Structure 1
Amino acid sequence: TSDGLQAVYALSDVSDFGTAQQSIRTVFMLVDLRAMRQRPLTEPITTYVHPLQWTEDNSAILFTSTQNNGTWKVSLETGQLQKVAEAAFLGSIQE
């Protein structure tokens, strides 16, 4: 988060890499930087993801997925995934 108290990263497990049976399981992990603890934020999903940034209120993370086109949001409170745009979000413009 912008306050430096939490971090999120995506952890992927790839089985049978490079074969027709290749499978991907990705979970988002939430890290409490004060307590130095982490926990799974989401149930596993079957795609690679590209975390992008926090929402303005630090309540969610925006990410893209090449296999599930578009921009998605994962809620820190519930761990629920929600598609927020059909296009891939690349970032915000700073003035």
Structure 2
Amino acid sequence: MTATIAESGTGRAMPPVVYVPTTDEPDPHQRRVVMHHVEDGRTALYTYSAPDRLDDFYLPGSPWMLCDVPTLQRIHDETPYDLLFVDVDPGLREETAEATS
């Protein structure tokens, strides 16, 4: 995997599994992981070490899939991303609030 792993500053190692936000199709097999473009144009995959962290840092109630490192590698092979964030807030709540005001 050639993506840069960016963590929350805690210095923790990559968890053995992470929760990854997905699209919300009714059939879980049709769901795709959600990636984001950061300010410098790179593509980022936000992941979370627990479902409550996904709710706290991402968006509450977001659909997700559980991924281990080999699954993250397959995702990267199919849809490359430049950055992998663990337990980081991408600022989506602010974007949602701005869009509704």
TM-score > 0.5 by shorter chain: no
Larger-gyration structure (1/2): 1
**TM-score normalised by the chain length of structure 2:** 0.24
Q: Which has the higher contact order (CA 8 A, sep 6+)?
A: 2
Higher strand share: 1
**TM-score normalised by the chain length of structure 1:** 0.25
Higher helix share: 2
